[in-house]
Amino acid sequence: MNRSHLLIAISYVVAIAVAYLSLPIFANYPILVQVLLADFVATIVIFGFSLAFRNSSFYDPYWSLVPLVIGIYFVGLADGAVVWRQIMALSVVGAWSLRLTGNFLFTWEGLEHQDWRYAELRSQSGFFWLPVNFFGIHLIPTILVFLGCIPLYYALSIGSRELNIYDALALFTGIASVWLEYQSDAQLHRFRRQRQTRQEVLMTGLWSWCRHPNYLGEIGFWFSMLLFGYASTGSIDGWMSVGFFTMVVLFVFVSIPMIEKKMSRDKQGYADYQAATFALLPLSRLRR
């Protein structure tokens, strides 16, 4: 473990510890509100590290680590939840968290490296960089991840419905989605090692079926969380579903357009790739 990775580890140990210690302060609120407020506390701690080291990529592992922490906390609050559902749901979250966090550690070059999107936001926001940094890069993603985790509260804490076909569907969807993300990233890393120039475009393997198989897998993971929530209660209310649909909006209208704009600018052949493939639907090879 190098110095940069050690600092990341320390920042998250501190953030999680401070968030946990803050929970008694919010004891008069409903459980989900308590968790959300503690989530805010952890985010503020990570934001402090981002400012101290002038690198907003301190926040990057938050997306993948916090759902596992929240899930474990929900298990500790369990009142009537089905143990096997807890095992299945937490296993999917754990596998997803391990893959995504591992991918960050593998690709992050250290404190001298920051996500290109943050660099662009900084140059575009100018004087307003501080609020953009806090709200846009730290707080809003925290809220999105929390909303996506709400179904876990039902599945891991209070949902007492017996195991059913939707648990199996949730487990299959979750495992398949994590596999899709892992394979997509593995193919991308291999391509980057073997390409001759940065102008080359990856359009083989999973990337021949759609332009963003990794994002498709991410959406599938959050859908599996929704399925676990539904399996545990037999119904879906607005709060249970809002996280998944917000994630879809995020990827379709923010993440994908941002990265495609950069790819179109950096790679001459990307327009041809766009014309030949769908962004998310894995059907591109069927129409050729």
Rg (CA), the chain: 20
pLDDT for residue 53: 95
Per-residue H/E/C for 51-73: HHCCCHHHHCCHHHHHHHHHHHH
Q: Based on the structure, what is the number of domains in the chain?
A: 1
pLDDT tens readout for residues 52-90: 999 999 999 999 999 999 999 999 999 889 999 999 999
> In the 8-state DSSP scheme, what is residue 269?
T
**Quick count: other Cβ atoms within 10 Å of Cβ 7?**
18
Q: For the chain, which ranges sit under pLDDT 50?
A: none
What local confidence, expressed as pLDDT, does residue 288 receive?
Answer: 58
CA distance 29 to 26: 6
Neighbour-count burial of 206, counting CB atoms closer than 10 A to its CB (0-12 exposed, 13-18 middle, 19+ buried)? buried
pLDDT tens digits along 246-276? 999 999 999 999 999 999 999 988 999 999 9
CA 124, CA 143: separation in Å to the nearest integer?
23
> Distances from the Cα of 279 to the Cαs of 30, 207, 213, in angstroms?
40, 10, 8
State the greatest distance between any 2 C-alpha atoms of the chain, in Å, as a whole number.
60
The pair of three-digit structure tokens given for residue 32, joined into one six-digit string: 């989900």
The domain containing residue 13 runs over which residues? 3-287
pLDDT of residue 18: 99
- Cβ atoms within 10 Å of 12's Cβ, excluding its own: 21
Q: If DSSP codes are grouped into helix, strand and coil, which group holds residue 7?
A: helix
